[in-house]
Structure 1
Amino acid sequence: MNNRSLPIAKKRSIIQQALIIFTHIPKTAGTSLRHILMQQYGKDAVFMFYDDPTVTTKNADELLNELRSYFQYLPDVNDRNFNGLVKLRAISGHKPFGIHNLLPVDTFHYITLLREPIERVISFYYHVFGRTEHSLESLISWKQSIEFDNLQVRMLSGAGWKVPYGHCSCNMLEQAKHNLLHYYTFGIQERFAESLGTFSRHLGWSQIQMVAENVGINKPKTSNINQQTLHLIAEQNLLDIELYQFAKQLFEERQKILST
């Protein structure tokens, strides 16, 4: 849904009536945002799918059958009045941009949170691999997980896990920027409170209760990571770094407009 040319009030009205699709990028405070989705719309109106995307890639029928098993009143696949016939308000998962193409839905709007890429990779390592004998540097050198390789560009461009490790492109970066501008309300993990204000204004949320969920407790400060490891992470995530800088600048520009 591209409504950039519409008046702001009209655009927000359309967004608030649309199906909200949360692109949950791992280790970006997404679990906290997911709980806020349930606060705002009710648990019964938010569907969450968190199977392993590196193993399972669902087609349209499989996804709809999974939704139907949870929402018994889901209409048939060919019924295009999806939004008007079901109580589903939002879906959330570690799924890249483009999942709207698998759903019989006419109005949709994406949301997401981004995080400084080096911090995100370190947080992911300690969350998933921190209790192993293998160092972060060795796992990145071995290309152990595709989540070490420009994951935010992968998810916002729609490429996801289909592109092999080390093959993300500048075209994917530009597609991610385009999608962020045209389809997303987004926030920045490091500025979570301000980001919630952005979601509230655009999506009509109220009385948000902030809950810290899935917070890493054993992650060392970035300043304690050796420079060789930090350099390696940056090399593997140059596109994510550029996307984050683009998003952060856009976020700050919009915050300044609100404060004037």
Structure 2
Amino acid sequence: MPQLKAYPGRIIFDHLPKTGGSAVARWLARGMGSGCVSPHIDDEHQSLIRRHGGQYSVLCAHVSYLKAEGLDPRYSYATLLREPIDRILSSLYFALTNHGDHQLWGLVPLVRRFLDSDGADLAERLLPHVSNTYVEHFCRIDGDGTEDPPTRLRNALAALQRYEVVGVYDQLESFLASFGALLEQADMPQLERVNATVSRPGAAQVSPALRARLLELNQLDLQLYQAARAIAASRPAAATATASRWQHFERAPAYSVQTGDLAIAQATLREHDEITAGGSMHFDLELTAARRIPQLLLGIHIKDSDGRLVYGVHSGMLGALQDGLDAGRHRLSYSVTAALPAGRYTAGFAVVEVLKDGQRDLAWHDSLCAFEVQLPAASVGMGYADLSAQLLTNAAPPVVDAAIRHAPGALLAHTPLPAMRCKHRYRIAVDLRHDGAETWHGDGPRPVMLSYHWLRPDGVPCVYDGVRTPLPAAGVAPGERLAWHVDVDAPAAPGAYQLVLTALQENVAWFENLGFEPARLALQAA
């Protein structure tokens, strides 16, 4: 049978944690190609489809469902379950033996306390990881998770029955055969061992008290798991194809350049792989030059987990053209503020030689450092004692943490504007118009601020993240017009510039990308 083009179907592999899903995802990617199968993703169901459905035939993800959104009829769904107590022990000891205390958003010490106390010390943050994880996951496909336990179990079972492929961990070969048949693939590779827990006891080796506690916490999951076994057993055995129908398809490799004139020997992040949002990142780049290079552009580019460019800059944009490097080894450093939403990112680097008649890429690596940005942990006090203080109040308004997705409005600057001297701060009077439907809150974890960009005459930014100017504490209501101001630092070097006065929601988006019209002003700095 002649092979057709790359597999065009739409499938979501609902990867439940510590069920062998990472190995299955790698098996899929090796068999069908990285152009068909997504890398591992953590995302909400509809966001997953919206962001990645056009790029891949098969989406492999830790999926989260919101309230009663249902399954997408355009997609087939597959999942793999593991005996609940065994899965939880694997998950707990994976956290404990594969990670340090500073990783996993502070969950590791909570896991240690839970295990040391035979399950008696259970922090609220840890509860979703050790109690009825399966039911709480699947019940939200048809419900909102607030129903009584029997209803949540029924909803979870009804949703699971609509999955095209349901497997159980101890019958992995049967699951892989069914999944391969759904994909119309016959010659899939052998499964590899991926993300294995370094060390863990078996379910029969833990203390009776801990086992009893886990059984108590997972009565619904134990029932759902037995139903999943029955679903898997009731479905007909997959027909074995003699040949795969679809061609293997790999994504085009990222742009990369290596020359004999210069090599990037190593790139390291001093803060390791976990960064607190708003903190500083320091990248050290080790270079080896085979000859003297008179003039260079040094660049850094940061991409998100979807491969989209988040930020890129080179020394020319920063007005710091590198004079040159002699032959030999050199260390260069970059300092970048992690003003990024929580998530996974990569940093890549480029070295470009500046010639009289143009430029030549000497070394370009799309991704050399991977890191994760996490939201800062809440501070609980100062001093050497923990007094477990609580704040009790009935009058405080709720904290608003909603991301604004549409922000129509405009900013108008008052004229005439002051003459600007380099490196001085000025206050520019503005009128802010809010044409949207959501209040722009000036406080909370995601406040709306006024800010600016400085652009060169050719439109290239020289300062993108300007000084923030807070809005009034009460915020700006829909339809409101506000006479306010923007604090602006003049550029460091004299010249002609364009000043773009705008607004943003911290850790979400600049408003000019959400329907907002900024003020654009031509200015001269002296």
SS of the residue corresponding to residue 111 of structure 1 reads strand
CA distance in 2, matches of 1:196, 1:256: 11
Looking at secondary structure, tell me which structure has more strand per residue.
2
- Inter-CA distance 226–255: structure 2 relative to 1 (3 Å threshold): farther
From 129, 136, 139, give the equivalent of 1:147: 129
Output one character per residue of 1:34-54: Cα deviation in whole Å (capped at 9) or x when no partner: 112212331122234534x6x
Match of residue 61 from structure 2:
93
By relative contact order (CA 8 Å, sep 6+), the higher-ranking structure is 1
Runs of 5+ consecutive residues of structure 1 not aligned to the other structure: 1-15, 68-81
CA distance in 1, matches of 2:86, 2:132: 13
Match of residue 13 from structure 2:
22
CA distance in 1, matches of 2:8, 2:138: 22
Q: CA RMSD in A?
A: 3.4
- Inter-CA distance 181–173: structure 2 relative to 1 (3 Å threshold): same
- Inter-CA distance 229–127: structure 2 relative to 1 (3 Å threshold): same
Does 1:236 find its partner at 2:227? no
CA distance in 2, matches of 1:192, 1:31: 13
Output one character per residue of 1:10-44: Cα deviation in whole Å (capped at 9) or x when no partner: xxxxxx86411111100000001111221233112
CA distance in 2, matches of 1:231, 1:252: 28
Looking at secondary structure, tell me which structure has more helix per residue.
1
Counterpart AA for 1:117: P
Match of residue 122 from structure 1:
89
SS of the residue corresponding to residue 141 of structure 1 reads coil
Counterpart AA for 2:227: F
SS of the residue corresponding to residue 93 of structure 1 reads strand
CA distance in 2, matches of 1:197, 1:111: 12
Match of residue 305 from structure 2:
none
User: How far does residue 98 in structure 1 lie from its aligned partner after superposition?
Assistant: 7.0
User: How far does residue 205 in structure 1 lie from its aligned partner after superposition?
Assistant: 2.4
- Inter-CA distance 205–244: structure 2 relative to 1 (3 Å threshold): same
Counterpart AA for 2:195: N
CA distance in 1, matches of 2:139, 2:130: 16
Output one character per residue of 1:178-225: Cα deviation in whole Å (capped at 9) or x when no partner: 112123311111111121112122332222221111122301111110
SS of the residue corresponding to residue 166 of structure 2 reads strand
Match of residue 197 from structure 2:
216
User: Does structure 2 conserve the Cα–Cα contact (< 8 Å) formed by 1:150 and 1:239?
Assistant: yes
From 74, 88, 93, give the equivalent of 1:107: 74
Match of residue 172 from structure 1:
152
Counterpart AA for 2:225: Y
Match of residue 465 from structure 2:
none
CA distance in 2, matches of 1:247, 1:140: 31
Match of residue 157 from structure 1:
139
Counterpart AA for 2:177: G
- Inter-CA distance 128–159: structure 2 relative to 1 (3 Å threshold): farther
SS of the residue corresponding to residue 13 of structure 2 reads strand
- Inter-CA distance 126–89: structure 2 relative to 1 (3 Å threshold): same
User: Does structure 1 conserve the Cα–Cα contact (< 8 Å) formed by 2:12 and 2:59?
Assistant: yes
Which is greater in Rg?
Answer: 2
User: How far does residue 148 in structure 1 lie from its aligned partner after superposition?
Assistant: 0.9
Matches of residues 74-89 of structure 1 in structure 2 within 5 Å?
Answer: 86=54, 88-89=56-57
Does 1:45 find its partner at 2:36? yes
SS of the residue corresponding to residue 92 of structure 1 reads strand
User: Does structure 1 conserve the Cα–Cα contact (< 8 Å) formed by 2:93 and 2:200?
Assistant: yes
Counterpart AA for 1:35: R
Counterpart AA for 2:204: S
User: Does structure 2 conserve the Cα–Cα contact (< 8 Å) formed by 1:154 and 1:168?
Assistant: no
Q: State the identity as a percent.
A: 22
Runs of 5+ consecutive residues of structure 2 not aligned to the other structure: 1-6, 101-108, 240-526
User: Does structure 2 conserve the Cα–Cα contact (< 8 Å) formed by 1:59 and 1:102?
Assistant: no
Q: State the TM-score, normalizing by the size of structure 2.
A: 0.36
Question: How many residues of Structure 1 are paired with residues of Structure 2 in the alignment?
Answer: 215
- Inter-CA distance 168–188: structure 2 relative to 1 (3 Å threshold): farther
Match of residue 134 from structure 1:
113
- Inter-CA distance 29–58: structure 2 relative to 1 (3 Å threshold): closer
CA distance in 1, matches of 2:38, 2:73: 18
User: Does structure 2 conserve the Cα–Cα contact (< 8 Å) formed by 1:185 and 1:199?
Assistant: yes
CA distance in 1, matches of 2:36, 2:237: 34
CA distance in 2, matches of 1:45, 1:256: 25
